[in-house]
Amino acid sequence: MNVILITACPSGVATTFLAARGLERAAAQRGWTASVEMHGQLAPFKPVDAATIDAASLVVVAASAPVDLSRFAGKRLYQAPISEALPDPAAFLARAEAQARLHGPASSPTPALAGAPVEPKSTAGGTPRVVAVTACPTGVAHTFMAAEALTQAGKALGYPLRVETQGSVGAQDALTPEEIRAADVVILACDIEVNTSRFVGKRVFRTSTGAALKKSQATLREALDKAQVLEGAQGSAPAAAPAEKGGAAGLYKHLLTGVSFMLPMVVAGGLSIALSYVFGLEAFEDKGSLAAALMEIGNGAAFKLMVPLLAGYIAYSIADRPGIAPGMVGGYLASTLGAGFLGGIIAGFLAGYMAQSLSRYVKLPPSMEALKPILIIPLAGTLITGLVMIYVVGTPVAALMSSLTTFLKTMGTGNALLLGAVLGAMMCFDLGGPINKAAYAFGVGLLSESTYGPMAAIMAAGMVPPIGMGIASVLARNKFSKPEREAGKAAMVLGLCFISEGAIPFMAKDPLRVIPTSLLGGTLTGALSMYFGVQLMAPHGGLFVLLIPHAVNHVLAYLFAISVGSLVTGVAYALVKTGKVELPGASAPTQGKGWSKGATVG
């Protein structure tokens, strides 16, 4: 009898291999001809072909991880946890032969894991099912606004759509295995790397949160037309598309992944230092005091972990888990050598690509392949990265960082005004896009060097566009439709929280007026913040950071800079805007969750 044996475990290492070999021997003892399909890391994934499936009389699945079974429709199939196959494989096969049932045809077949040509798929009514994941570096605004935009686009086009958001508080409305299996297309609207192993075998389309937010319907149509099957073994890290891992876009995504993991440490460290100043600017020098403890937590622990986290998760974005150890060690060395966040960025990319190369090009016998991710890559990657950082990168980058921080701390008024204006313009140009995020990453990196002025200018300028749009909707009420006035109120609140994306609905509809007026106010605010010497200890929070003593040194000057820039933007846009124009997607949001058409994010 011809039989197909399939094994899969969550780690994809030892259990998958041992169960496969045990079942194969037991099948041979029973006189069966067995074809084995292992979903693991010890051997390349080789799915059984169509001829083998046609000839099989029985399909035995020992799996505790997701496996695509739709291709076995019409075959006798037995499925049980892999743990039941290990103690007595012969008894397991006997149960399989006795208890196997005919596997019914799938209502929505999933594509073959081998990446074979995919037939168009749809629900019973002919409408494709779509699931999506959204994620941005800060996990605050773009993540949820892109999710809402995709939901509204699905409603408008009549496609059942479910969105999982991976924000600052973790995954919300997480996609279930059943929803993933039933989906025809997976949209990954992510500016950072996310775990995609659960989507192996599905048609996947990658884009940014900005594209999903500004061109949601076009993104949905493009996904249905251009999505490609994600290859790899289920339960393990899939091979990323070349466009994602290389080129400027790939480098940028890796950097933002590192920044996103570093941000919580920056916030915790900066605000701990600010709280230590509540007891006096020099109170932390009194050993054993609460002020000294807060300073130790912030400056002695959190800030020292910032650069290792940045480097470690840049490497993780490139090479997955094997890159974390060499990346963090390289980042720690960058910090101790004085190379700062620039050295951490170099260490992250060096460690990531080194680990990726070791994984791809170091070939070992199948029996030793499991040693690669847990021994060979961490050891070799850490040694190579560490030696390069110590003997090649550390000294020159440390000199560069020393020159940069000295310049920033001693620059004259003219240079301060120029730097503030440039950073302010960058924050207002694309509202959460690449230029905005580059300025933000620069400010966050400087916090690790105890340079707080640029971060103050960056946050102040980033608040200007949404507050300005809210002011304009009040000053020129007759020029704004009712949905626009409601959007203006929301934008003002978002602006106070330092969520620049609140102005995106206005920019998407009227970019030729919104962008120049935002640049005008943001440039002025950034320049004023630097002129007044404002320093900000935290990288986020908007005006609510002012409630924490000493988080901002010149509070009134800071409020003045933000107010002036926002008024300039608001008045300028109120003057240049013409007529009433309905905002796209301004209808009231729907509620609910599930596969109903247009289901919104819960």
Record the tokens describing residue 78, joined without a space: 């037995």
Domains of the chain (ranges plus CATH)?
2-103 (3.40.50.2300), 130-230 (3.40.50.2300), 247-407 (no CATH), 413-576 (no CATH)
Residue 14's pLDDT is 64
Specify the pTM: 0.60
Q: Compute and round to an integer the Cα radius of gyration of the chain.
A: 28
DSSP H helices, 215-323, are 216-226, 242-245, 247-276, 290-295, 303-319
Residue 562's pLDDT is 94
Catalytic residue ranges: 9, 136
Name which of 450, 459, 446 is nearest 140 in CA terms: 459
Residue 129's pLDDT is 86
Which range has the worst mean pLDDT, 238-247, 443-452, 521-530?
238-247
| Cα 182 to Cα 67: distance, rounded to the nearest angstrom | 13
Residue 113's pLDDT is 37
How large a percentage of the chain has pLDDT more than 90?
A: 25
Q: Work out the pLDDT band at 41, boundaries 50, 70, 90.
A: low
Q: What is the mean pLDDT of residues 487-516?
A: 84
Do the strands 170-172 and 161-167 form a parallel or antiparallel pair, or are they unpaired? antiparallel
Record the tokens describing residue 196, joined without a space: 């995609």
* Average pLDDT across the chain, whole number: 81
Do the strands 58-63 and 2-8 form a parallel or antiparallel pair, or are they unpaired? parallel
Q: Work out the pLDDT band at 88, boundaries 50, 70, 90.
A: confident
Query: What single-letter DSSP state applies at residue 412?
Result: -
pLDDT surpasses 90 at 60: yes
Sign of the Cα pseudo-torsion (377, 382, 383, 384, in order) = positive
Q: What is the mean pLDDT of residues 188-202?
A: 83
Instruction: Read off the pLDDT of residues 122-175 as tens digits, 9 standing for 90 and up.
Output: 444 457 889 999 987 766 667 887 888 888 888 877 888 889 888 766 677 788
Burial class (CB in 10 A: 0-12, 13-18, 19+), 598: middle
Q: Work out the pLDDT band at 586, boundaries 50, 70, 90.
A: very low
